[in-house]
Structure 1
């Protein structure tokens, strides 16, 4: 049997213990209590059970400690908490684990990231989804993964990412529209489309029509003046490439930008929509089929097959409703700083920190 004591900041047990103590966010400690130390604590307080010890500490010392037991022999898994720096939030997360009868075997902390080794019989994907409402309320990211993650860095894999508001920090079409003085009008349509409240193909066609007559040189100005890579983007891509992974970009944006980043970042593949340009001006149209939600899903499946990469070794990252189909079919699907509906439905959600947070899950 595994016994955990969550000790608040500036609290010390009345007896010395030999069991492992781990620092936790906010200055508290987590005790992985051995059977011998549990016996000594029961003896000190004159109690038959740890539940009674918990009650005595509350009555005598005015401290409400979380003390719980779980099965040591249960399946082991990893939990990652990003953006949790205060004890009260960590305590709430532990209380959720208590309800699931999940024990904590180890804790390691660094700024912005707490990693725990857990023991419990819950499925990792189910646990992540059950903790999603809590993570939203606390303003942290919580991801539970298998002890041996899948995908992992030990084998080649495939990363496909969205571009706008994922790889880069803006929506290209909104920035292009700004040069026509209609950014606000276009941005409203973009937002509704990304939230899944408008049909993507129809809204895309409508927005592109509004760009008719704009000088094509504006595309380069947008690239030079408006577009910045998301924090951690290069670290994520370089990290995966160093382990033999394929990397690609699938975007409902424009090939002018996807092709640039394919070359800049050494990606293996990129896909986007090609704007029609005649006599140096945007016509308000585009060439070929629209890259939509189904296109992204198909690209992930076909590229994995082409490069003989099992789907369990694939990652898909995006922020909009048109990214959900590829996120849901990937070995690890991540909603990154995403719209509420996407965060709700995606297997994993990262809303704090940079793209390189994804590496911590592998």
Structure 2
């Protein structure tokens, strides 16, 4: 079996130079020539070795380029490299905000709610009770505020739509799965182009939030179960699945996926995932699968 080492920079700061690629070949002791995926933004090179060698080789490569502004990964170069099922977290992953924090901001409670959000995403407190505590603070907020937030304050993560549209164009089923709320995931998933979306439902009465959520809450167990159910529905090998997220609520999903990617994630999540992306945008997930920029669909 061969492995493939992938180097990914941010398009705003290209850094994958010829010198970097030469050093990569030296560090990994490979004679293979690099394949350029996108200028000085992304490239890959085949490396002899078995799947069990990949983590150690990735650590060696990461240590060699510790001060450089690009991400590295070493993955199997086998037949399931391009995935057929993709699941994504929403808040701080497919979008740049935490929706519940934005809601809290409208009633002057951003700092209080954001502090709870941060602790939950780091895994310091359980997700479900933390969610109920935050939602209770939003009681009586008009539902119409959400439409305004989506229109005026919610922004897609760079590369989000390109990632999903390219995956779909190549036959991948895409699913947005969020511990956040259906009132957000509906329009956001449609804007990005996901095939389906799963999220928690907020209680609403007389056009206002009730301060409660409807059960079940989409927690880390639900996210993992969604991946397993979709994998079974489409008859896929576990290696054919991809998931991305940033918080503790995503850990089980990332671990279950054939390729779990921590995107600008909390430290515990980044440490546990197969791959961490700290510099690239979401198109990094396409480069990880071997797509070149010429194959992207916007």
Tell me if both proteins adopt one fold, taking TM over 0.5 as the criterion. Answer: yes
Aligned CA RMSD, in angstroms, stands at: 2.2
Evaluate the alpha carbon distance shift between residue 277 and residue 133 of structure 1 in structure 2; reply closer, same or farther with a 3 A threshold: farther
1:23 aligned residue: none
Q: Which runs of 5+ in 2 are unaligned?
A: 10-14, 290-298
Greater shift, 333-342 or 77-86, is seen at 77-86
Name the CA distance, whole Å, in 2 between partners of 1:114 and 1:244: 24
Q: Does 1:76 align with 2:9?
A: no
1:111 and 2:40 correspond: yes
Contact 1:128-1:347 at 8 Å conserved across structures:
no
User: Are 2:181 and 2:199, in contact at CA under 8 Å, matched by a contact in 1?
Assistant: yes
What CA deviation, in whole Å up to 9, does each residue of 1:187-222 have, x standing for no partner? 111111111111111111111111112111111111
CA distance in structure 2 between the aligned counterparts of 1:127 and 1:193, rounded to whole angstroms: 32
2 CA distance for matches of 1:206 and 1:133?
A: 41
Q: Deviations over 1:95-139 (max 9, x none)?
A: 653xxxx32411244222232222345622443355456666544
Unaligned stretches of 5+ residues in structure 1: 1-74
Rg larger in structure: 1
For residue 230 of structure 2, the aligned residue among 299, 303, 307 is 303
Greater RCO (CA < 8 Å, at least 6 residues apart): 2
CA contact (8 A) 1:149 1:361 kept: no
Distance 2:95 2:79 in 1: 27
CA drift of 1:353 comes to 2.0
Q: Which residue in 1 is equivalent to 2:53?
A: 123
SS in 1 for 2:92: helix
Structure-2-length-normalised TM-score:
0.86
Q: Provide the residue aligned with 1:236 in structure 2.
A: 163
Secondary structure of 2:32's match?
strand
Q: Secondary structure at the match of 2:115?
A: helix
Q: State whether residues 42 and 287 of structure 2, in contact with CA within 8 Å, keep that contact through their aligned partners in structure 1.
A: no
Q: CA offset at residue 166 of structure 1?
A: 0.7
Does the 8 A contact of 1:76 with 1:120 survive in 2?
yes
| Equivalent residue number for residue 104 of structure 2 | 177
The corresponding residue for 1:144 is 74
Cα offsets for 1:15-69 (capped at 9, x unmatched)? xxxxxxxxxxxxxxxxxxxxxxxxxxxxxxxxxxxxxxxxxxxxxxxxxxxxxxx
